Amino acid sequence: MRLVVCVDRDDDLGRKAGVAGPVVGRTSVLDAAIRLGTADPEDADTNAIFAAVHLRDELEASGETAEVVVLTGDAKVGYASDRRVAEEFEEVLARFPGAHVHLVSDGAEDEHLYPILASRTKIDGTHRVYIRQSPSIESTYYTVLSALKDPKLRQKTVLPLAIVLLILGVAAAGGVIFWGIIGLAIVLGVYLIFWTFDVDEAIIDSIRSASSDIRTGSVAFGFGLFAIALVGVGFQAGYNAYVGHPESIPLARLLLFLNASLIWWLTGGFVWECGRALRRYFVRGRLPASFPIATTSIVGIGAVLYGVVYLVQYLEGLTGNTQLLAIIATIVIGLSLITGAAVLSQYLKSRSASPEAPPATAT
């Protein structure tokens, strides 16, 4: 048995055509493709689905038993969509045990899921679908305009340009071009950091989680507010230490800022993890396995950071009562705790992923 699998990672079928995955069978898949093509004729997933049906028909014509399947992910491409695709794939494999798989893709985004699918069964090959386009300038212009209608692409391309024009326009109107360029560099730097590490999605998820915690009366919300307050106290303590020594050199004042702030920031991280652990405890009746890993990592990171701060102070001659051996011991202990937390995390992951041994049978 061979399965021809097409992956709609961003769930265009669900969002645009109202089709829930997984879609199994030639008739159902063709109907889904027609509904998606009717809802959005320019969606590339439509062509990929038709290509999957075509490949299925070719396999049937060659005398093999084949079936076509469409897996759908989530509009929020990433962990959530990949987990949903994996769950649907396992559901399909339960219906067709021992099947070999051909993966049909319309681009590198779907092929990103290849290792996830390959970890669950044998994949015989990948078929990439290319859309034929006219090479003329008019066609290219139309293609670019059509692509910019995609909200995801617009956020990644148009938004930075809009920020540049907005800041430069305000700076020009105020006659402060120099400060406008500085502000532009800072804003774009922050934006690129947010984009690279998906900080914006993390903030949105945190807001949604906080809203859910408020409605359900979860203890995590109170702990989260307290943790944020501790971070603010850390900034205030560091600022007081910074401005309290105007006679010191800038490096010494910066180290004083870090020395006064770190303990509050680390405490805030510990309080945050305690809130998450208590929420899981009240829901499932046990603390999560990640709690000791997170707390150990926080202590280890704190030891390393304090060790580095004291080491810089020692090397710059900014303090005379700090012993070098104590500094090195603090850094080594911190690195050991971080390494131990990583080893424990990998151990717990391997133990949860390993299948249980089958019961022995008498002969």
Name the pairing type of β-strands 66-72 and 23-24: antiparallel
Asked whether 6 and 104 are in contact (CB, 8 A), the reply is: yes
Q: Which of 225, 197, 232, 194 has the alpha carbon at shortest distance from 210? A: 225
**Cα 49 to Cα 60, 88, 165, 268, 334, distances in angstroms:** 17, 17, 41, 49, 52
Structure tokens belonging to residue 97: 């045990």
4 phi/psi in degrees, rounded to 5: -100, 115
Asked whether 232 and 224 are in contact (CB, 8 A), the reply is: no
Show contacts of 60-66: CB within 8 Å, 24+ apart: 64/2, 65/1, 65/2, 66/1, 66/2, 66/3, 66/4
Q: Exposed e or buried b for every residue in 29-47, given b needs 16+ CB within 10 A? A: beebbeebbebeeebebbb
Cα separation, 97 vs 307, in Å, equals 55
Q: Specify the pLDDT at position 341.
A: 87
Helix, coil or strand: residue 345: helix
pLDDT averaged over consecutive 10-residue blocks of the chain (363 residues)?
84 85 87 88 82 88 88 79 86 83 73 77 76 51 61 69 80 79 78 68 69 72 88 92 85 88 92 86 81 89 90 79 81 92 83 54 43
Please, where are the H alpha helices in 124-249?
A: 137-147, 151-174, 177-197, 199-216, 219-243
Asked whether 193 and 199 are in contact (CB, 8 A), the reply is: yes
Q: Specify the pLDDT at position 304.
A: 92
Whether a cis peptide bond, with omega within 30° of 0, leads into 250 is no
Kindly report whether the global pTM for this prediction surpasses the value 0.75: no
Of all helices (H) and strands (E), which one includes residue 17? none
Query: CB within 8 A of 259, min separation 6: which ones?
Result: 241, 306, 309
Helices and strands, counts by H and E, the chain: 14, 5
Of all helices (H) and strands (E), which one includes residue 29? helix 26-39
